[in-house]
Amino acid sequence: MTNPPSRCHFLDLKDLPSSLLRHILDAAKLWKEARRGLPKGAVDTGAPLEGYALAMIFEKSSTRTRISFEMAMQQLGGSSVVLQGDTMQLGRGETVADTAKVISRYVDAIMIRANSHAAVLDLAANSDVPVINALTDRSHPCQLMADMLTIEDHLGPVTGRKIAWLGDGNNVATSLIEAAVRFDFELVLACPENYLPAADVLAWAQAEGGHVTVTADVHKAVANADAVITDTWVSMGDKDTEARIKALAPYQVNDALMARAKPEAIFLHCLPAHRGEEVTNSVMDGVQSVVWDEAENRLHAQKAVLAWCLGKI
Ligand code: CP
Ligand code: NVA
């Protein structure tokens, strides 16, 4: 086995060409189908990552990301080590750069969920092995690969579709904007003025020729949409909880809003959901909701991301 080049980091969708992201998504689809019916802990045919080890660093809470990456490595025939940021020497002042150099000597890839996006870039710049962004204050690219897989599982090709985002212009919204450009779909984000998507991300999308617009009008956003997506109004690390809940209340996804999208439109949420805030129970549990498929697809999408990072696809 040879070590893959360290340039195979998976840090943000904007860093990677459309053709590569499509290649990863197609591999995820094939592998998902190929293991249908197997027990969840069974190793895939050919054990594509046999002998490979992944370190997973968490500076923030996680349910889906932790389990899906750990099971991804198991299904691919590899292994994983889970590290909590606050129990590492990183939390006592060891630099990110030194930490990257050390961890690279033990494992073949690093997945990190970090408070600061800058720290992830620092880690990647100093790591000899691929680094995967598993959520930062800036972005959540792994989530969007799972979302693309989910939309295509239910609706077919995402290219040319209209997708509506309702609520906070947060880290998931940033990756959704980057996905809109890379996968070439129309994206309308309805956000209140104090919680708009990052200006540099919108400028990037415009410069790339993306079909991305922002409005305060929720009805305009969901009109004729193929998919409606939201996320929590208060992300990990956000402090202004009360102000957010007040400003974002008009952006709740409820039955009346879903009725304005296409009749066959689907509802996505990266989870965890705050039922009664950004989404009602009736939408979460309704026939248009695909949130459990979306959660499952974290596993399938990340297996393909890992395989690409390690030079296997
Ligand atoms: N969607 C997502 O990343 O979930 P977790 O925070 O549970 O990992
Ligand atoms: N925007 C949310 C996503 C959680 C998966 C957060 O950052 O907390």
Using the predicted structure, report yes or no on whether residue 265 has a pLDDT greater than 70: yes
- Specify the pLDDT at position 51: 98
145 C-alpha to ligand 1 centroid (Å):
13
Tell me, what's the pLDDT at 6?
46
Residue 113 counted as domain residue: yes
Give pLDDT tens digits for 153-181.
999 999 999 999 999 999 999 999 999 99
Take atom 6 of ligand 2 and give the residue whose Cα is closest: 235
Q: CA-CA distance, 211 to 142, in Å (whole number)?
A: 22
Based on the structure, what is the number of domains in the chain? 2
Residue 123 domain-assigned (yes or no)? yes
On whether both 156 and 271 belong to a single domain, the answer is yes
Closest CA to 306 of 103, 116, 50: 50
Instruction: Find the domain containing 24 and state its range.
Output: 13-139+298-309
User: Does residue 237 sit in the same domain as residue 252?
Assistant: yes
- 105 in any annotated domain: yes
Reported as a pLDDT band with limits 50, 70 and 90, residue 251 is very high
Same domain, residue pair 111 and 156: no
Protein residue closest via CA to atom 3 of ligand 1 = 65
In this structure, the strands spanning 266-269 and 212-215 are unpaired
How many angstroms is it from 107 CA to the middle of ligand 2?
27
Q: What confidence tens digit (pLDDT) does each residue in 54-66 have?
A: 999 999 999 999 9
Q: How far apart are CA 91 and CA 6, in angstroms?
A: 25
The answer as to whether 24 is a domain residue is yes
pTM of the model: 0.97
Q: Is 172 in the pocket of ligand 2 (CB under 6 A)?
A: yes
pLDDT in tens, 25-48: 999 999 999 999 999 999 999 999
231 lines ligand 2 (CB under 6 A): yes
Residues 149 and 283 in one domain: yes
Model pLDDT for residues 100-159, shown as the tens digit of each residue: 999 999 999 999 999 999 999 999 999 999 999 999 999 999 999 999 999 999 999 999
Where does ligand 1 bind, in terms of residues with CB under 6 Å? Answer: 62-65, 135, 143, 270-271
Same domain, 278 and 304: no
Whether residue 267 is found in the same domain as residue 156:
yes
Distance 44 CA to ligand 2 centre (A): 30
Nearest atom in ligand 2 to the alpha carbon of residue 65 is 5
- Same domain? 20 vs 153: no
Shared domain check, 165 and 84: no
Same domain, 87 and 152: no
What's at 264, amino acid-wise? Answer: E
Distance of CA 56 to the CA centre of its chain: 16
Asked whether 68 and 42 are in contact (CB, 8 A), the reply is: no
With a cut of 50, say whether residue 2 has pLDDT above it.
Answer: no
Residue 167 placed within a domain: yes
Which pLDDT value is given to residue 7?
60
Q: Say what percent of the chain tops pLDDT 70.
A: 98
Of the pLDDT bands very low, low, confident and very high (cuts 50, 70, 90), residue 248 is very high
CATH, residue 56:
3.40.50.1370
Number of C-beta neighbours around residue 237 at 10 A? 12
Contact status, residue 222 vs residue 166, Cβ threshold 8 Å: yes
280 and 166 in a common domain: yes
Q: Residue 3 falls within a domain, yes or no?
A: no
Per-residue pLDDT tens digits for 5-21: 446 999 999 999 999 99
Dihedral class, residue 281 (left if φ above 0, else alpha if ψ from -120 to 50, else beta): alpha
Residues 152 and 132 in one domain: no
Assess if residue 1 is contained within a domain. Answer: no
* Statement to judge: residues 78 and 212 lie in one domain: no
Give Cβ neighbours of residue 119 (< 8 Å, ≥ 6 apart): 96, 136
User: Which pLDDT band holds residue 91 (cuts at 50, 70, 90)?
Assistant: confident
**Assigned domain for 58 exists:** yes
